[in-house]
Amino acid sequence: MSNHLAGETSPYLLQHADNPVDWHPWNAESLQLAREQDKPILLSIGYSACHWCHVMAHESFEDEAVAAVMNEHFVNIKVDREERPDLDHIYQNAHYLLARRSGGWPLTMFLEPDGTPFYSGTYFPKQARYGLPGFPDLLLHIAQAYKEQRSELSAQGKHLLATLASWQIEKTAEDTELAAAPISAAVQQHQQNFDPVNGGFGDAPKFLHPAELDLLLSQAHARQDEQVRHVALFTLQQMALGGLYDQLGGGFCRYSVDERWDIPHFEKMLYDNGLLLGVYCDAWLSNRDPFFARVVEQTAGWVMREMQSPHGGYFASLDADSEHEEGKFYVWQRNEIRDLLSVEEYEIVKPYYGLDSTPNFENHAWNLRVARPLSEIAEKLLLSKEQASARLAAAQAKLFTAREQRIRPSRDEKILGSWNGLMIAGMAKAARVFGNDDWLRSAQQAMDFVRETLWQNGKLLATNKGGKTHLNAYLDDHAFLLNAALELLQTEFRSADLDFAVQLADALLARFEDAQNGGFFFTSHDHEALIQRIKTGQDNATPSGNGIAAQGLQRLSEVTGDMRYAEAAERCLKLFFPMMEKAASQFSSLCTALDAALQPPSLLVLCGAEKETTAWRAAVTAKYRPELMIVVLSGDETALPAPLDKPRAATTTAWLCRGTQCLPPITELDRLLKELA
C-alpha cells in the first residue's frame, strides 16, 4: 500500500511512499484536510542524502505501531527541503524561536491546521535516549496538549507569528550612504574566527564557508595582504587534504564532524562542489600551486562522471549511506588496501593515508586523508618525486577501480535550478581558467537543459525529474542562474546565454524585488501565501540570494549598459547595509557586491581570431583580476548591446572601460597589460 506521496517527483518523498504512515505532500488539499478533521499537522522536513533522516525513517516511519499513532492523531505531511526551501526557511526560523536553538534535518514540526507551529524538534529516537523523549510517547503528549490546551497554544502561535513578522527588514528613514567599513570588518572577523592549526573557522563541526573564502581571496588580492591570503589558502589546502575530500574520486562532502577535517557526514551535495570549484580556481590563480589545480580537475571529473544527466542537467546529491551504513562506500580496512596493491605501492600509500596509525573511523576502518607529505615519504624511501608520484597514482587508480565495484550510495536525480546555477558557474569558471573545453561543454549542456526545461512561458520553475517540471522558482534559482549565465558569457560568448541572463534579471526585478524597501524576497509576488515571507541577506551553506543577485545585476549592467540592474543592486545593498555594519561576517556575499559597487566597474572586450584572443585572455587572467569582466567576441555576433557592440577590426583588438571612461582601442597585448597594471 502506498500513501499520498507515490505521485511526487522528489526522491526523498518517494523514499517514504511505502511507509505505513499516511503521508501527504504539502499542498492546499492536505492543509484543508487538517482543517476539516481539526487535527494538528505533523510536518517532517528532510532530504534524500540526510543520514539522520534515514535513521528516523527506519526507526519510526517504517514501524507499524508508530505509524498507527501518527495516523490516528495527526495529518502527516512530508516535505523535501531541497524542493521547498521556502517552507524549510520558515520552519527552521520557527524552530529557533520555539526551541531556542538552531535546527537541522530531519526537522519535526507540529502545526495548527493553519500552519502555525506550536512545538518542534529535529531527530527523535523511537525509544528515549540522547536526552530526547521517545517519539511515540512524544506524539501522545502532543496530541493530548493540542486537545486540552488549545487556547494557550493559539496565544503562543500569535506571538510567534508576530515575532517572525518583526524580522522583516525595512529601509531606514534616511538615505543610506554606502562605505567600505563592513568589508574590512568581515575580513577581520573571519581572521579572528580562523583556526590556525587545522584551517577553517571555529570548532567542530567544521563547515565549508565558500562565500567567506571567496571574499577573503578577493580582498587578499586587492590589498596584497598575505595574512588574509594565508587564511583562505591554508583552509582550502587543509580541507582538500582531509577526509572531507574524496581522495580517490574527487568532490567534497557536506561538512566535517571534527575540527581536523578527518570524518565528514558523507553526503555529497551539488551546491557545495559548484561553489568550491570557483574558489579553488581563485586559489590556483592566487599562487599557482598545482595542488589546487588537481582538486579542480578531480572535482570537475567527478561532476561529469557521476552528477550529470544524459540530458544535460546536474543531479542534486549523493547519499551519505549505502547498505544502511553511513560512509560504507568510502571507508577501508587496512588489509583490503594491502591486498590490492603491490609492495612498492603499499609502502607509499601506508604512510601517505596514515594506515600506519590508528583507524579514524568506526569498526577499525580508515576514511582516507593525507597524513604525511609525499615529498617526505619519497625522501625516506630514497625515491625521486616523480617515482613516488607515479606509484601513488597507480595505487589510487587500483583503489578507485576496486571501490567502483561496491554498492554505491543512492543518487538524488532531481535537477534544481538554483544548484545547477552554482555548478554551471563553477564549471564555466574552471573551464575558462584552465582552458578545458570538456568542462565548458558540460556547463553549456546543463544551461541549455535548464533554459529549455525550467523556463516555461516566460517563467522559471524550480525542479525537474522524470520529465515533470514544477514548483515556482525562488530567488536563489534566478540569482544563481543569472550568475552562471554571466560566467558562461565570459568563457565563451553565446547570445542565448546573454538573452537568458536578461530574462532572469527582468524576472528578479518584476517578481521578487521589494519596490518599497529594496532587496529581494525569497519567494515571488505570486507565490503561495505562507506564515512568513522571507527576505534575508545572510549567507548559509549557500551564499545569500540577495548577495548573488546584487553581484549578478551589477555585472549584467556592465555588459548591457542597462542601469536598471545596477540601481536595483544598489537598493539591495542600501537595505542591508545597516545590518552589515552590525554583523559583517554574516554577509560575505553582500560584502563582495558592496566592494564592486564602491569602485568603477571594469569591462574588457576582446575581438579577433580565436587563437589570439584566447592567448590575450590567458595573459590577463594570469594577473588574477577578479573585478575585471572579460568578454571575448569573434566579430560575427549580431544584435549586441552597446557595451559589446564594437567595430570589426583586421587585427585582435581590446576595448577597456572603467566606469564611464573607455580607452581607445588597443591592438598590442603588452600595451593592454600595462593599462591593466
Spatial distance between the Cα atoms of 238 and 261, rounded to a whole number of angstroms: 7
d(CA 96, CA 102): 5
Closest to 453 measured CA to CA, from 309, 272, 275: 309
pLDDT of residue 61: 98
* Residue-level pLDDT at 5: 97
DSSP alpha helices (H): ranges in 22-149? 28-37, 51-56, 64-73, 85-99, 135-148
Domain parsing of the chain, residue ranges: 11-166, 181-323+412-597, 330-405, 602-676
Tell me, what amino acid is at 510? A
Residue 1 has pLDDT above 70, yes or no: no
Per-residue pLDDT tens over the stretch 498-516: 999 999 999 999 999 999 9
SS3 (DSSP) at 42: strand
Instruction: Render pLDDT for 412-440 as a digit per residue (tens, 0 to 9).
Output: 999 999 999 999 999 999 999 999 999 99
pLDDT score of 648 more than 90 = no
What pLDDT is stored for residue 206 in this prediction? 96
| CATH class given for the domain over 11-166 | alpha beta
Cell of 3: 500513501
**Phi, psi torsion values for 239, nearest 5 degrees:** -60, -45
User: What gap in Å lies between CA 365 and CA 355, rounded to an integer?
Assistant: 10
Q: What is the pLDDT of residues 425-478, one digit of tens each?
A: 999 999 999 999 999 999 999 999 999 999 999 999 999 999 999 999 999 999
What residue has cell string 519510526?
60
Q: Which CATH class is domain 602-676?
A: alpha beta
* Residue 173 pLDDT exceeds 80: no
Contact partners, residue 512, CB within 8 Å, separation at least 6: 475, 478, 520, 521, 523, 524, 525
- pLDDT per residue as tens digits for the range 207-235: 999 999 999 999 999 999 999 999 999 99
**The three three-digit cell numbers of residue 304, written as one number:** 561529469
Backbone φ and ψ for 42, nearest 5 degrees, come out as -100, 110
Could you tell me which residues come within 8 angstroms of residue 530 by beta carbon, excluding any fewer than 6 positions away? 86, 87, 90, 115, 523
Q: Amino acid identity of 427? A: M
The C-alpha cell 599557482 sits at 288
Q: What CATH number belongs to 330-405?
A: 1.10.10
Q: Is 628 helix (H, G, I), strand (E, B) or coil?
A: strand
Percent of the chain with pLDDT over 90: 94
330-405 and 602-676, same CATH topology = no
In the chain, count H helices and then E strands: 25, 20
Question: Checking DSSP bridges between strand 459-465 and strand 468-472, what pairing results, if any?
Answer: antiparallel
Average pLDDT over the chain, rounded to an integer: 96
**Which CATH fold would you assign to the domain 181-323+412-597?**
Glycosyltransferase (1.50.10)
What's the rounded Cα separation, in Å, for the pair 262 and 257? 8
φ, ψ of residue 602 to 5 degrees: the values are -120, 130
Residues 6 or more apart whose Cβ sits within 8 Å of residue 504 = 460, 478, 481, 482, 485
Contact by Cβ (8 Å): 184, 587:
no
The CA distance from 441 to 439, in Å, is 6
Question: Averaged over 19-45, what is the pLDDT?
Answer: 97
Q: Which three cell numbers stand for residue 657?
A: 572601460
Tens digits of residue pLDDT in 303-344: 999 999 999 999 999 999 999 999 999 999 999 999 999 999
Beta partners for residue 603, in sequence order: 629, 657
When pLDDT is averaged across residues 628-642 and rounded to a whole number, the result is: 93
